[in-house]
Structure 1
C-alpha cells in the first residue's frame, strides 16, 4: 500500500500537471480565438460600412434624380406650350412625394407660377425673383437640369432645402426654369434614424463641402463647412463606390470606420461606424471565457481530488485481485470495480498473468476478422450513398443554374434584364483576360415610345420592342457582346474589343436598320419608329459605371439634338 505522505505528493503533482495541461492550451486558444474574432468583426464592420454608404448614396440619388427627370420632362414637354403652369405644378407635386413647393420663372428669373398657390404670397417680403439663386443661374448657363447645393428657404422660412431645376427651352433659347424644393428631412431623416439605431453616424455634404444633413451624434449643423480631410473626397472618384478607412479619434476620443461615397449630384455621403460596439462585444466574450476557464479549473480540481482519493483506497484491493487471478483463485469482482492509477503494482501483477493471456489471442483475432468484414460492408454502403448524393447534387446544381439563367432574361424581349446585365458587367470586370480589352457601351432609347403606346396600345409597343431587339441581336458580333433591357424602352449593349470607330459604325447600322424597317409611327420622326443611341468607349472594363454614365450622357445629347441619331 502507498503511504499517506506519498499519496498526497502524487495528488499534488498530478493536479498541477493536469491544470497546466488544461489551462495553458485553453488560454492560448481563447487568446487566438478572441484575436481572430476581433479581426473578423473589425473587417466585417468595415465592409458593412462601405456597402451601407454605397447603397444609401445610390438610394438618395435615385430619389433626387427620379424627381429631376420628372422636372426635365415637364420643362421639355411644356417648353412650347401655353403660359398657364398652375395645373402642371400641382400635378408635379402630387406625382412626386417629397417636393414641398414648385415654381416657374421667365428668362429673367421672375416667378410667373408657383405651387402650392399660397407659398410665395404668404409673406409680404417674399421674393418675386430667384435670379440670384444657384438653381436659376446654373440651368441658365448650361441649359441642363441641375441639383443645387444646400440653402435656406425664403418663402418657406429658413428650413434646410435643396432644389432641383430644369431649363425651359423655346426655339433653342433659354426661356426660364421649372424648379422644385425638397426639404432635406424628406430623404435623410428615416435613413439617419436607421443608422443611429445601429450606432452609426451619417453626414451629407454638398459640392462645396457644406453640411446638408448630420445626425445628432456629430458636432455639425446645417450649412457648416467640413474641412476634415478624413470626411471628404478629393479628385476623381467613381460614383457610389465607397472609400472606407479606419480613423482614430474621429468621434471625440473614439475610433470609427469612415466610408465616403460620391453621388451623381456631386454630393458626398459619409457614414461613420464607431468601433465601441465591437470592443464591447469582445469584452463580453472575454469575460465569458474567463468565467469558463475558472469553471474548468474548479472542475479539474474537484475531479482530480475525487479520483486520486479513489485510487489510494482501491490500489490494495486491485493488487490482491490480480494475484488471486494469477494463481487461479476466484476473483473478487466487487474489489476491481475501480481501476487503479498506480502502474507499478499493476506491472508486477501482469507478469503473473502473461501465461493465461495467450488463450485469449485466438478469440481476439476472430473478433478482429469479424470487425474487418463489417468495416468492408460499411464502406460499401457509404460508397453507394456517396454516389447517390453526388447524383442528386449534380441534378440540384443543374436546376439552380437553369433558374439563375431564367431569372437573368427579360421575359418580353429575350434580352438580359438588369440583373443579368449586372452579372455580365461583373464578369467583364473580374475576368483577368479582359483587363487590357477595350469596351464600348451603347445606350439605346426608342424615340417617342410613350406616344407610340398611347396611340397604338401596349401590345403593339411590346411588338416594337421585340423587333428592335431582334435587329440589335443581329448586329452583335459574337458571344463576348452583351445586350440587355435596362428600362422600359431603353437598352444597353456592351461590345468587347471595340474602338470608337467600330462602336460608332455598329450604332449607325443599328439606327439605319431600325429606321429602314419602316415600322409606322404617326407621332415619330419621319412617321416611322426610330431610335437614339449614345456611344462611349474606354480602354478596359474597369470603372464600368463611368463608361455607362458617359454613354447615357451621349444618349442625352443625341436626343437633345433631335433624336434618330448617334451621340458620341
Structure 2
C-alpha cells in the first residue's frame, strides 16, 4: 500500500529544533526589555521626585522668609498707632535692605493709593515713581484685605521698579481698635527662584515652577521659557500637566531620546514640573540577542545535517529504539531498559551515549538541587541587602547633605510625630529657632565655600549643645535651624539656648561684617503645653517672633516669647 509523502524527517526535526531554540531567545529579550524599563522607571521616579522636592523646599523657604517678614512688620505696634510716611519710610528701607529678594517694599492707604515705596528711584532712575499708583485692583492687595492676613498671589505685570512679570505679597495693618489703616507689602524678584531651579536641575534635567493660573514663574534656562507665558503653550509642559500628580511617565517622546516628567502640587496652588532625559538602551541588548540568534541558527543547521545523515542509516531500527526509549525514565534510574541492549550494531554508539547521558543526567539533577539551594540562599541574602539599602536611602532623603542634620522634609515628619506624642503625654514642648547673624554678608565677604564651612561648624556646635535634650534638631533654611524638645521646662530651655549661643560665639569664626568681629547666633524660644486645643504652628510662630525680637534687640542673644504673649498680640490686633 503506497504511503502518503509527509516531507523529510530531517527538515521537520530541524524546523522544530529551530523554533524551540529561537523561542527562549525571544523570551529572554522581552524579559531584558521589561527589566530595564522597570529599572529605568524607578531611577527616573527617584531622581525626578528628589528634584521636585528640592524645588518645593526652595519655594517654601523663599516665600516663607518674605511672607513672615511682611507679616512681622505689619504687626509692629508703632505702625499700628502711626501709619504715616515718616514712620513707614525708614522701616520699608530697612526691610528692603534686609531682604534683597524684595525688588520693592511699599505701603498703601486703605483705598489702594501708594503712600511710599523703597527704593525711592526705580531701575531706570525715575524718582518717586510710585506717585499716583493705586493697587486696589492688584490680586495681592485684595487678597490681603479679604483674608485679613498676609497674602502671596501669582504673577502680575509690574510697571513700577521692576518692569515685567513679578510676584506680589501684602499684609493689612489695623489700628488697636481694629480699623484698617492700609497695607504694607513687597514685589518679589523671581530671578532668585530661576537661579535656584537651574542649580537644582543641573545641565541634563529641567524644572519649571507654575503659578495657580498655570503661568511660568521660573524655569530652567534649558527650557527656553519666558516668565509669565501659559505653560500649555509649550508642548513638553502640556504633556507633563496632563499627568496625574506624583506620577512619572514619558512626555514628548523622540526617536533617540525620551523625556520623563513628574508633576507635584504645592499648598498655595502652584505646581512644580520636573523633567529628565531617558537614553535609549535597545542597541546593547539587541546586539546580544542578535549574536545569540546567530549561534542558534548555526546550531540548528548543524543538527539538521546530522539528522539527515543519521536517518539514512537508522530508519529501520528507529521504531524499536523509540519504543524502548518511551519506557525509559532517566530521572528514576540510570540503568537503560533491557531492550536497548539488543539494538543493532549501528545504534550501539547511541545506546552507549544514552547510558552515559543517563548517568550524567542523574548527576545534573543532583547538581541542580544543590544550585537551587544556593540560589535561594543568595536571593534571601540580596533581599536583606536591598532592604538595608532602601532604609539607608530613606534616611538620606531626610538628612541635610551639608550639615548632617535633619533637613526640612525630615523635620516636618519628625515634628508631627513628636507633637502627636506630646499631646498623648499632655506634656510641655519647647521650640528653639536659631539664625546665624549677618550670614549673607559673611557669604558675600568670604565666599560660599567659607559659608558652607561656617554652617557645618555651627551645626556641630548646636549638636554638642542641644542634641542630648532635643528630640528634633534640623536645618530649616539657609542659615536657619530649629529644635524641638520634649519634655521641656522653661528655665532649662533658656539655659540650653544660652549654651548654644555661647558655643557658636566660642567658635570665634572671624566675621568683619559683624559688630562682634566674629560669627554670632540669635535664638528665640517658646514653651507650650500640648493640650487638646494647642497647635504646633502656634508654638513655631511664637519661637519665630522671639527670634525676630532677638534680632531686633541687637543679635547675639536669646529671646523668649510665650504662647500666651503671642495670643495677647493677636487679640490686640
Instruction: With the length of structure 2 as denominator, give the TM-score of the two structures.
Output: 0.51
Give the aligned partner of residue 297 of structure 1: 293
1:267 paired residue among 253, 262, 269? 269
Q: Is the 8 A contact 1:442 1:551 kept in 2?
A: no
Structure 1 pair 23/514, CA: closer, same or farther in 2 (3 Å)? Answer: closer
Which stretches in structure 2 are left out of the alignment for 5+ residues?
1-7, 233-237, 311-342, 354-380, 382-387, 438-459, 502-522, 550-559, 568-573
Distance 2:21 2:155 in 1: 63
Give the aligned partner of residue 182 of structure 1: 188
Superimposed CA distance per residue, residues 346-398 of structure 1 (whole angstroms, 9 cap, x where no aligned partner): 86369999xxxxxxxxxxxxxxxxxxxxxxxxxxxxxxxxxxxx9xxxxxx9x
Shift of 1:25: 0.6
Structure 1 pair 486/175, CA: closer, same or farther in 2 (3 Å)? Answer: farther
Distance 2:413 2:299 in 1: 63
The alignment status of 1:146 with 2:134, answered yes or no, reads: no
Distance 1:231 1:309 in 2: 61
Show the 5 A alignment for 1:548-567.
Answer: 548-549=536-537, 551-553=539-541, 563-566=561-564
Give the aligned partner of residue 336 of structure 1: none
2:211 paired residue among 194, 205, 209? 205
SS in 1 for 2:121: coil
SS in 2 for 1:149: strand
Q: Is the 8 A contact 1:102 1:116 kept in 2?
A: no
Superimposed CA distance per residue, residues 50-82 of structure 1 (whole angstroms, 9 cap, x where no aligned partner): 443333122112122223344455666794699
Distance 2:174 2:461 in 1: 33
Q: Is the 8 A contact 1:103 1:115 kept in 2?
A: no
Structure 1 pair 463/62, CA: closer, same or farther in 2 (3 Å)? Answer: closer
Distance 1:187 1:346 in 2: 86
Distance 1:120 1:79 in 2: 33
Shift of 1:24: 0.8
Superimposed CA distance per residue, residues 150-172 of structure 1 (whole angstroms, 9 cap, x where no aligned partner): 21112247511112345567768
Show the 5 A alignment for 1:353-502.
Answer: 417-418=405-406, 422=410, 425=413, 438=424, 444-445=430-431, 482-484=471-473, 490-493=482-485
Distance 2:415 2:191 in 1: 39
Q: Is the 8 A contact 1:200 1:272 kept in 2?
A: yes
Structure 1 pair 98/483, CA: closer, same or farther in 2 (3 Å)? Answer: closer
SS in 1 for 2:562: coil
Shift of 1:184: 3.1
Structure 1 pair 73/268, CA: closer, same or farther in 2 (3 Å)? Answer: same
Give the aligned partner of residue 191 of structure 1: 197
Give the aligned partner of residue 533 of structure 1: 527
Q: Is the 8 A contact 1:443 1:490 kept in 2?
A: no
Structure of greater Rg? 1
Distance 1:68 1:105 in 2: 17
Give the aligned partner of residue 29 of structure 1: 28
Q: Is the 8 A contact 2:266 2:272 kept in 1?
A: no
- Please report the RMSD computed on the Cα atoms of aligned residues, expressed in angstroms: 6.8
Give the aligned partner of residue 500 of structure 1: none
Shift of 1:258: 4.9
Structure 1 pair 420/219, CA: closer, same or farther in 2 (3 Å)? Answer: closer
Q: Is the 8 A contact 1:204 1:270 kept in 2?
A: yes
Give the aligned partner of residue 373 of structure 1: none
Distance 1:489 1:45 in 2: 31
Q: Is the 8 A contact 1:441 1:547 kept in 2?
A: no
Distance 1:450 1:47 in 2: 33
Shift of 1:31: 1.5
Equivalenced residue count is 429
Shift of 1:197: 6.2
Shift of 1:444: 3.4
Distance 1:267 1:288 in 2: 44
Distance 2:37 2:434 in 1: 57
SS in 2 for 1:52: helix
Give the aligned partner of residue 452 of structure 2: none
Distance 1:424 1:100 in 2: 30
Show the 5 A alignment for 1:307-326.
Answer: none
